[in-house]
Amino acid sequence: MPHQMKTTEVSLSVRIANAEMKEALVKYISTDLMPPMWLDSQGFQKFAQRLLNIGATYGKLEIGQIMPDVATVTERLSQQARYARSQIQETIQCDNPAQFAVSVETWRNDVGQQYATITIHYIAENFVLKKYRLDSIQAEDETVEVQIRNILDAYNLGQPKCITVEPCHEHCYTTSDSILCSVALLNGVASSVFESEADYLPAKLFLSCNIILAHAQNSERAIKYRSYLPSYEKRSDWASKCQFLSAVANAWDTLLGISGEVDGLPTLMLEVDVTQLRCVISVLQPFQDALGLLSIQNEPTLHFVVPIVRKLETHLQPSSDDNDDIKHIKSQLLNHFMKVKDKLLSKMACCALFFDPSKKSLRITDDNDREIARDTIFTEMRLIDSELCLEMPLEKIKKFDLEEFSDFDHTFKDPVTAEFERYIYFQISQQGEGLTTSVLEWWKNNKINFPRLAQLAHAYLAIPTIANPSAYGESILERRRFLDSESTSDILILNASAHIGGS
């Protein structure tokens, strides 16, 4: 009995504390005009828990007794950021990457200041893909390239193999070794189907499905079914809209089942052709699949670009089974897609494809792109320092099964040509490493067989297809739009340091 009474007292205390917390948070949000979603952030949750722990340990305190002033917190922030930068620099110097790539994410705040976040990407000696946010700076278009160079100099880094930039800032970079963010390019293509006039099929379906879901969710008679239904979609990006349409299509039978219990729902549902809905989803799904593949963390992605381009180009061709609406959607997508196709099929992307052992023939590239890629790689092999690229040991050569090669000429050749052709003619078994291991794992296992190419694989496979996978800038824009550039840089560096050691 005493134990039960104690449990009841604790439960009651929690309920009372919860009620007080609700009132305090409402007052905080309304006083400082903060979005309620901020309460779900990890940082706020940890801060609130720390305050609770302080109160439990030291008793009742006045906030003025323990809360430091803004200047003190800012200085501490700066100190920790300097330490984080030194740790990042030490880690990079320890890895000593011979080749690396850089990505640049840019955004503007509410008062028009432009920020740029610079991230380094490289493959370590053990064939692990790493990336570190180097810094965030306030920079205008005409100065951002110079400032990137200054940041690289501060970290004692040389010239990057490639810089991945966002399409809207393409004009800011004069170097030929820059590519546009593939994810941003494909996002621009796919989003075009929702940016058209309101009576255009995808936009019309999205609006109708939102009305249907809102009507069903708000009906008291259908309250018992709400957990089986998706919520209506408020976000504006095309991927969220497409996921929402898929959720509605999957829940369509449930909606039909409850339509008789919700006044007006049958009439609303008659306005949507579910077959058309599923066709629109099937047209957009390959774009979602492609963007998911290009946004993979901890693995190379640039070698996926050429196959994705070929697949999407084929997918967007009209079919005899397509009705006029679907043909129109495909036509619009294809029109936008062809405008960015050449930018997607960069020399860097074609070279990266060569380092996918299962695609090294480059058959899916155009003849000209194939020749340029092979010539580029062969030339770079000759430039590699011979002292760093030792010949494959004789005993290792003997372990090669000649059946693993097709028409390879085994007569004497110069070392570079021999290695290049060994790779070209090396056969990837259907049950072998080509299909069962990652591309990095394959190169880790075969670097002794192809030492020069392995070094180049480090360079090309490190190039990212997305400027920055996390919405660093968005979180700043949503929560602290008016931070000065120095504080913004320090905060982002400390945020990144929580994940130091790679992605």
Q: Is the pLDDT of residue 209 over 80?
A: yes
Confidence of residue 184 (pLDDT cuts 50, 70, 90): very high
Number of H helices, E strands in the chain: 22, 5
Per-residue confidence (pLDDT) for residue 434, from 0 to 100: 43
DSSP H or E segment with residue 196: none
Token look-up 């050691």 returns: 501
Q: Which two tokens stand for residue 163?
A: 């810089």
Least confident interval from 51-60, 336-345, 447-456: 51-60
HSE-CB for 241 with a 13 A CA cutoff: 21
- Mean pLDDT (the chain) is 82
DSSP state of 356: S
Whole-angstrom Cα distance, residue 493 to residue 133?
Answer: 7
The strands making up 129-138's β-sheet, listed across from edge to edge, are 129-138, 114-123, 101-108, 162-165, 178-180
How confident is the model over 32-76, as pLDDT tens digits? 877 787 787 788 888 888 888 888 898 888 888 888 888 898 899
DSSP output for 359-397: GTT-TTS-HHHHHHHHHHHHHHHHHS-TTTSPPPPHHHH
CA-to-CA separations, 474 to 60, 115, 133, 185, 265, in angstroms, rounded: 37, 11, 16, 19, 37
**CA-wise closest residue to 82 among 146, 120, 135, 137:** 135
Whole-angstrom Cα distance, residue 86 to residue 221?
Answer: 61
Beta-strand ranges (E) seen in 101-223 are 101-108, 114-123, 129-138, 162-165, 178-180
Angle of helix 324-344 relative to helix 201-217, nearest 10 degrees, comes to 110
Q: What is the pTM of this model?
A: 0.83
**CA-wise closest residue to 194 among 242, 243, 255:** 242
DSSP H or E segment with residue 223: none
Per-residue confidence (pLDDT) for residue 65, from 0 to 100: 85
Per-residue confidence (pLDDT) for residue 152, from 0 to 100: 94
Q: Where are the alpha helices (DSSP H) in 238-304?
A: 238-250, 252-258, 265-270, 274-294
Confidence of residue 90 (pLDDT cuts 50, 70, 90): very high
DSSP H or E segment with residue 340: helix 324-344
